């Protein structure tokens, strides 16, 4: 997974605090650790394809960040699905 956040830097010269972003991602994906993804909402009714996972992560991050985002999820080398504003 790769997350890209776009925007103008703040007074400290950063667009987003990476520690905060990592924490947000961790809280979003932690319910999936050690579990069968097909048993967890929304993937109990939606195919857990890389495209759907990228959209799920994007939607979850957009609830927290107002900046343009792009989420990329890789299935295998050279096989990447992306969802985002850019």
Residue 12 confidence (pLDDT) above 90: no
3-state secondary structure of 84: strand
Per-residue pLDDT reduced to its tens digit, 27-86: 999 999 999 999 999 999 999 999 999 999 999 999 999 899 999 999 999 999 999 998
What are the boundaries of each domain within the chain? Answer: 2-84
Residue range 2-84, CATH number:
3.30.479.10
CB-based burial label for 51 (10 Å; 0-12, 13-18, 19+): middle
């Amino acid at each position: 997974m790769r997350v890209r956040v776009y925007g103008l830097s703040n007074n400290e010269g950063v667009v987003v605090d990476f520690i905060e972003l990592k924490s947000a991602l961790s809280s979003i994906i932690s319910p999936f650790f050690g579990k069968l993804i097909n048993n967890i909402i929304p993937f109990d009714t939606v195919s857990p394809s890389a495209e759907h996972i990228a959209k799920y992560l994007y939607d979850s991050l957009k609830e927290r960040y107002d900046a343009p985002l792009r989420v990329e999820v890789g299935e295998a080398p050279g096989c990447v699905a992306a969802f985002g504003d850019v």
